[in-house]
């Protein structure tokens, strides 16, 4: 088994040093490393996503590569992973790993996460699962996973659906496959893209002032995601402005600021009448990823709602 490792390291470590620091990694796979970019993942942006996705697309085409491991900071791995899952056409395993503790910490988790990540990548049953994250012995589909705690090693959870599996000292157990569209069944691609449409997220709260909605539209947002209260709600004033924005051709997705749950279409808000999209299971950050890619295909609200139901 030959696994390719292309990292987005958040610190100052070179990927070759990271690989060399993990005992017995070479017993699992022949691993070669490549540094695509070296940034804290809080600095992740559309340009890096496009660069990483297009390099990943090349790497997975190589007959000599059986799987890819991507090292990534934990702050935005849930967004990068979902983006890559939507645009990378391959059955080969793509595993994202990170660490909650720095390499200098007592009981640093990076080495064991990398070891488990490689074990997951080479495990029977990994093919066709799309992009997964492996941290703290848990495997999660990138589509489902969210970071839930600022500093704990037990932070990554698939809040609505549960994990994809577990990997303990390299012993891998897979649970149910991801039935949502992704990878080879996804209609999205980064081919020919040099930028992504601007999509802004606006956070709802008691007394939400709608001015930021107008500001985002004025600044050129083609899509808006509202991190709504409860089931994707917002003040009447904000609802009036997003309705106006939708009428003007900006695609508006109602997501939720809550940690889990589904935003239901036409439940508390009449989406049909107002021309809005309900995010279903996707949190605001993931909704933004899907909406950006959706807008590379269409501005049709009904079609985009179908995408939010299917991806
Ligand atoms: N802020 C860092 C990052 O996401 C935290 C980490 O290293 O995981 O890049």
Q: 12: pLDDT confidence band, cut at 50, 70 and 90?
A: low
Mutate to test the pocket of ligand 1, among 8, 10, 104 (most ligand atoms within 8 A of CB): 10
The burial of 248, by beta-carbon neighbours within 10 Å (0-12 exposed, 13-18 middle, 19 or more buried), is given as exposed
**Residues 58-92: pLDDT tens digits?**
999 999 999 999 999 999 999 999 999 999 999 99
State whether 77 and 107 are in the same domain: yes
Rounded Cα distance, 211 and 31, in Å: 51
Atom of ligand 1 nearest to the CA of 11: 7
Angle of helix 301-310 versus helix 284-295 axis, rounded to 10: 130
Atom of ligand 1 nearest to the CA of 43: 9
Which residues constitute the domain of residue 209? 199-310
Radius of gyration of the chain (CA): 20
91: CATH: 3.40.50.1170
pLDDT attached to residue 15: 84
State whether 135 and 49 are in the same domain: yes
Under 8 Å between Cβ of 278 and 264: yes
Helices vs strands, H then E, count in the chain: 10, 16
Structural domain includes residue 193? no
pLDDT attached to residue 126: 97
Atom of ligand 1 nearest to the CA of 74: 8
State whether 217 and 164 are in the same domain: no
Angle of helix 284-295 versus helix 77-87 axis, rounded to 10: 30
Average per-residue pLDDT for the chain: 95
State whether 175 and 214 are in the same domain: no
Residue 10 C-alpha to ligand 1 middle, in angstroms? 6
Rounded Cα distance, 33 and 35, in Å: 7
pLDDT attached to residue 2: 65
Dihedral angle at the C-alpha atoms of 116, 121, 124, 129, nearest 10 degrees? 110
pLDDT attached to residue 3: 65
Rounded Cα distance, 282 and 243, in Å: 21
Q: Whose CA is nearest to atom 3 of ligand 1?
A: 73
Query: Mean pLDDT over residues 19-39, rounded?
Result: 93
138-141 and 165-168: which strand pairing? antiparallel
State whether 159 and 108 are in the same domain: yes
Query: Mean pLDDT over residues 177-186, rounded?
Result: 97
State whether 133 and 41 are in the same domain: yes
State whether 176 and 114 are in the same domain: yes
Atom of ligand 1 nearest to the CA of 102: 7
**Residues 210-259: pLDDT tens digits?**
999 999 999 999 999 999 999 999 999 999 999 999 999 999 999 999 99
Q: Say whether pLDDT at 301 is over 80.
A: yes
Structural domain includes residue 191? no
State whether 154 and 15 are in the same domain: yes
User: Into how many domains does the chain fold?
Assistant: 2
State whether 146 and 20 are in the same domain: yes
Better-scored residue on pLDDT, 21 or 28: 28
Q: Whose CA is nearest to atom 6 of ligand 1?
A: 73
State whether 55 and 135 are in the same domain: yes
Query: Mean pLDDT over residues 1-30, rounded?
Result: 76
The H-assigned helical ranges of the chain are 15-20, 25-28, 46-61, 77-87, 110-122, 211-218, 236-247, 271-274, 284-295, 301-310
State whether 131 and 165 are in the same domain: yes
Q: Say whether pLDDT at 143 is over 50.
A: yes
Structural domain includes residue 194? no
Q: Which residues line ligand 1 (CB under 6 A)?
A: 10, 40-42, 73-75, 98
Q: 9: pLDDT confidence band, cut at 50, 70 and 90?
A: very low
**Residues 116-134: pLDDT tens digits?**
999 999 999 999 999 999 9
For residue 195, give both structure tokens. Answer: 């930028």
Inter-CA distances, 9 with 147, 153, 289, Å: 18, 18, 21
Residue where a domain terminates, one of 185, 211, 237? 185
Q: Say whether pLDDT at 30 is over 60.
A: yes
pLDDT attached to residue 5: 56
146: phi then psi, degrees, rounded to nearest 5 = -135, 150
Q: What percent of the chain has pLDDT over 90?
A: 93
Classified as helix, coil or strand, 308 is helix
């Amino acid at each position: 088994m030959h696994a390719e490792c292309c990292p987005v390291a958040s610190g100052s470590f070179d990927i070759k040093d990271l690989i060399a620091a993990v005992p017995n990694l070479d017993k699992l796979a022949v691993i070669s490393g490549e540094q695509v970019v070296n940034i804290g993942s809080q600095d992740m942006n559309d340009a890096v996503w496009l660069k990483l996705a297009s390099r990943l697309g090349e790497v997975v085409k190589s007959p000599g590569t059986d799987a890819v491991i991507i090292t990534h900071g934990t702050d935005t791995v849930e967004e990068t992973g979902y983006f890559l899952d939507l645009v990378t056409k391959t059955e080969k395993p793509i595993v994202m790993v990170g660490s909650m503790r720095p390499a200098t910490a007592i009981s640093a988790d990076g080495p064991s996460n990398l070891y488990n990540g490689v074990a997951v990548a080479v495990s029977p049953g990994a093919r066709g699962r799309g992009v997964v994250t492996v941290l703290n012995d848990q495997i999660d589909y990138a589509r489902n996973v969210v970071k839930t705690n600022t500093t704990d090693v037990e932070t990554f959870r698939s809040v609505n659906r549960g994990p994809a599996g577990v990997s303990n000292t390299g012993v891998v157990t897979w649970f149910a496959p991801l039935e949502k569209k992704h990878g080879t069944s996804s209609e999205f691609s980064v081919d020919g893209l040099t930028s992504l449409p601007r999509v802004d997220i606006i956070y709802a709260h008691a007394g939400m002032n709608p001015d930021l909605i107008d500001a985002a539209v004025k600044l050129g947002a083609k899509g808006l995601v509202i991190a709504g209260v409860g089931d994707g709600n917002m003040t009447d004033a904000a609802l009036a402005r997003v309705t106006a924005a939708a009428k003007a051709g900006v695609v508006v997705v109602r997501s939720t600021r809550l940690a889990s749950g589904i935003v239901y279409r036409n439940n508390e808000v009449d989406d049909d009448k107002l021309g809005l999209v309900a995010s279903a299971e996707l949190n605001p950050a993931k909704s933004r990823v899907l909406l950006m890619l959706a807008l590379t295909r269409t501005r049709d609200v009904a079609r985009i709602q179908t995408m939010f139901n299917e991806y």
